[in-house]
Amino acid sequence: ADGAPIVRLPDAVEANVFKVLEHLKNYSAQHQALTLDASGVREVDLVGAELLLRVINAFKRASHELLVLGADQLITPLRAAVEPGRRDQSDAGWMLLLEVFRLLLRQHDFEETGIQYCVTYEVSPPSWEPPPPSLKTRAATPADLPQEVEDGLQWRGTVRANGEPQFGR
C-alpha cells in the first residue's frame, strides 16, 4: 500500500474496534498516508458503526490521506445492521452506509438509501457530495481477502469468553 501503515478491521466491527482505531490514530501522528483494510468485515453493530464513522469524519477534516481498502465489503453487513422503518437509538449505521456509498462514488445507491433513511427517521437525508480528496478507496484483491486453509489452522477473529472447550477439540 505504497508504504502506508495498514490497519485491519476485525471481522466484527463492534465496541472493541476502538482498540484497532486507536492504532490508526497513533499511526497518523507519524505517517501522512494510512490504509484501513475493511476487506474482512462480516458484521457491524451500531456502536462499531459510530466509532468507524467518527474516524472517517475526522479524516475528512484532516490533512492526512486515508485509503479504505475493500470499502465495498462494508455494504452487506451495514445493510444487515439497519432496517428501513426501524428507528434505532443511533443512526450511525445509516450514516456509515451513506458514507461508504459516497466513498465508492455510488450516487444512485446513496440517494436510494437516503430516501430509506428519510422515511425511517423523518428527517432530511444528507445531500450527495463527492468525497474529499484525502479519502480514497480501492477494491480488495484476492490477495487481500481471507484465504481458505486446506491444511492446518487459520486463526482469524476474536476468541470470546472461555475458549478452552473449543481448543480441547
| Alpha helices (runs of H) in the chain, residue ranges in sequence order | 17-28, 46-61, 75-81, 92-103, 107-121, 164-168
Here the cell at position 168 is: 480441547
Return the amino acid letter for 36.
Answer: L
pTM of the model: 0.81
Cβ–Cβ under 8 Å, residues 52 and 103: no
Here the cell at position 101 is: 456509498
Return the amino acid letter for 88.
Answer: D
Give phi and psi for 146, each to the nearest 5. Answer: -60, 135
Distance CA 105, CA 166 (A): 43
What is the reported pLDDT for 164? 66
Instruction: Select the more confidently predicted residue: 88 or 163.
Output: 88
Q: Is the per-residue pLDDT at 143 higher than 70?
A: no
Distance CA 19, CA 2 (A): 24
Q: Which residues touch 13 (CB under 8 Å, ≥6 apart)?
A: 41, 43, 44, 45, 48, 49, 51, 52, 77
Instruction: Select the more confidently predicted residue: 103 or 147.
Output: 103
What are the angstrom distances between the C-alpha of 148 and each of 77, 98, 152, 158? Answer: 21, 31, 10, 18
Percent of the chain residues topping a pLDDT of 70:
81
Distance CA 117, CA 96 (A): 12
What is the chain's mean pLDDT, rounded?
A: 87
Q: Is the per-residue pLDDT at 159 higher than 90?
A: no
What is the reported pLDDT for 140? 76
Distance CA 30, CA 5 (A): 10
Distance CA 52, CA 92 (A): 9
